[in-house]
Amino acid sequence: MAKLTVSDLDVKDKKVLMRVDFNVPVKNGVIGDDNRIVAALPTIKYIIEHDGKAILFSHLGRVKTEDDKKALTMRPVAQRLSDLLGKPVTFVPATRGKQLEDAIADMKDGDVLLFENTRFEDLDGKKESGNDQELGQYWASLGDEFVNDAFGTAHRSHASNVGIATAMKAANKPVAAGFLMEKEIKFLGNAVDNPKHPFVAILGGAKVSDKIGVIDHLLDKADKVIIGGGMTYTFYAAKGMKIGTSLVEKDKVGLAKEILDKAGDKIVLPSDSVVAEKFDNDVPHKVVEGDIPDGYMALDIGPKSIKEFEDVLKDAKTVVWNGPMGVFEMSNYAEGTLEIGKFLGTLTDATTIVGGGDSTAAVKQLGVGDKLTHISTGGGASLEYLEGKELPGIAAISNK
Ligand code: ADP
Ligand code: MG
């Protein structure tokens, strides 16, 4: 069912509570990558350009001790947001109380306020992460409407997304998705539930065990499932092939066998690999076909596999990619991921989607992200979406 979005709301003169994902890397008060702040700008601008009052909040890192508060304050984030918006942002160093309530009461239409890290509430009995009902109700009482734009935490049931949404709805106040959330639902949701065929899934990364849910769900939906990366060799073992010292999950070999039996020729495995004697960029490496020789580990798919995968992908209308094809962090084993990324960029007729924390990092690092249709902003959240799970943060948004 379609979800209510911010453009369905009348935000004029309204106090719009907005859950953003400002969980950015901060070191000594300095923000590293500010992509997540940039990604929230369209929704924030929409609210203020339509004369709403934008009251923003997010978690930042994990707050376990009183000491963590110094490193994990939202103050530098407020400054960066102000720079990006080109207007002042009021920062309130509290998550509740008179100072926050007074600051909200003082807001004029078009103003922006950011309050302190929602996880500061975790020091008091895990109120944020444990979705404390009273906390969700309190935050809901601060505004007229709630917009959730934090896809990255949508797989969690916290007070700042699910708790507040539940309380808003109970008070007959609207709960809507922001534009970023809307985009994630549109691309990830449509790709999996309503794909244009041929639909090809590319699954890689380190472990079969991390991806069982994704493999199962996508095997049902996709026309072909390409397997690459470290998980390949658990499948090789299941086929009785030699794997040398490659990554393997011995306790998942049986499961890999079951998956292969069930999937028949839907699964496409690499036919060659780049192998080395050690998990190291600076050791001799070579390409081998099929079996991995004793004393060698497979660290990337080989050139023949790249061609074979491209052949499967060339007519695809939908491609979902999760998991790098090799150890892309090392230049000698990045080729498979790089070439598949480049090839996806040439599929102008297809919707191409990347989800997963390391996969997103890989396409960005290798510079192949620009030509893809959608790169998800949520690591864990996108994986759970690809598993076909209902994400609590999305479920809590009002339907249209
Ligand atoms: P994502 O975060 O996108 O879901 P994963 O966490 O499953 O992806 O996998 C990413 C990791 O898999 C990378 O760090 C990469 O180095 C590793 N990897 C890929 N291929 C291999 C391989 N052949 N052997 C060992 N590790 C691999
Ligand atoms: Mg990962």
pLDDT tens string 160-204: 999 999 999 999 999 999 999 999 999 998 888 899 999 999 999
What pLDDT score does 1 carry?
Answer: 66
Instruction: Tell me how far the alpha carbon of residue 20 lies from the centroid of ligand 1, in angstroms.
Output: 28
Total domain count for the chain?
2
Cα–Cα dist 196/268, whole Å = 20
Instruction: Tell me how far the alpha carbon of residue 211 lies from the centroid of ligand 2, in angstroms.
Output: 10
Helices then strands (H, E): number in the chain? 16, 17
Query: 393 lies in a domain?
Result: no
What pLDDT score does 267 carry?
Answer: 97
Query: 398 lies in a domain?
Result: no
328 is in an annotated binding site: no
What pLDDT score does 167 carry?
Answer: 98
Query: 281 lies in a domain?
Result: yes
Sign of CA dihedral 362, 368, 374, 377: positive
As given in the structure block, the two tokens for residue 144 are 């007229």
Cα–Cα dist 302/299, whole Å = 9
Ligand 1 mutation pick, 273, 285, 327, max ligand atoms within 8 A of CB: 327
What pLDDT score does 379 carry?
Answer: 84
82 is in an annotated binding site: no
What pLDDT score does 321 carry?
Answer: 96
What is the side-by-side strand order in the sheet with 53-57?
A: 90-92, 112-115, 53-57, 15-19, 145-148, 175-177
What pLDDT score does 221 carry?
Answer: 93
Nearest ligand to the CA atom of 382 = 1
Residue 33, exposed/middle/buried by CB under 10 A (0-12, 13-18, 19+)?
A: exposed
What pLDDT score does 53 carry?
Answer: 98
33 is in an annotated binding site: no
119 is in an annotated binding site: yes
Instruction: Tell me how far the alpha carbon of residue 378 lies from the centroid of ligand 2, in angstroms.
Output: 11
Same domain, 119 and 158: yes
Same domain, 220 and 158: no
Instruction: Tell me how far the alpha carbon of residue 75 lies from the centroid of ligand 2, in angstroms.
Output: 29
Residue spans of the chain under pLDDT 70: 1
- Considering only the C-alpha atoms of the chain, give the largest distance between any 2 of them, rounded to a whole number of Å: 71
Note the pTM of the prediction, 2 decimals: 0.89
Q: Give the CATH number for residue 223.
A: 3.40.50.1260
Dihedral (C-alpha) 282, 288, 292, 293: value to the nearest 10 degrees? Answer: -80
Beta bridge partners of 274: 287, 300
What pLDDT score does 377 carry?
Answer: 85
What residues flank ligand 1, with Cβ below 6 Å? Answer: 204-206, 210, 229-230, 247, 298-299, 322-324, 326-327, 329, 356-359, 379, 383
**Predicted confidence (pLDDT) per residue in 314-331, tens digit:** 999 999 999 999 999 999
Dihedral (C-alpha) 187, 191, 195, 197: value to the nearest 10 degrees? Answer: 110
Domain carrying residue 140: 6-179
Same domain, 68 and 199: no
Pairing of strands 145-148, 112-115: unpaired
- Residue positions annotated with a catalytic role: 36, 207, 357, 380
Same domain, 143 and 236: no
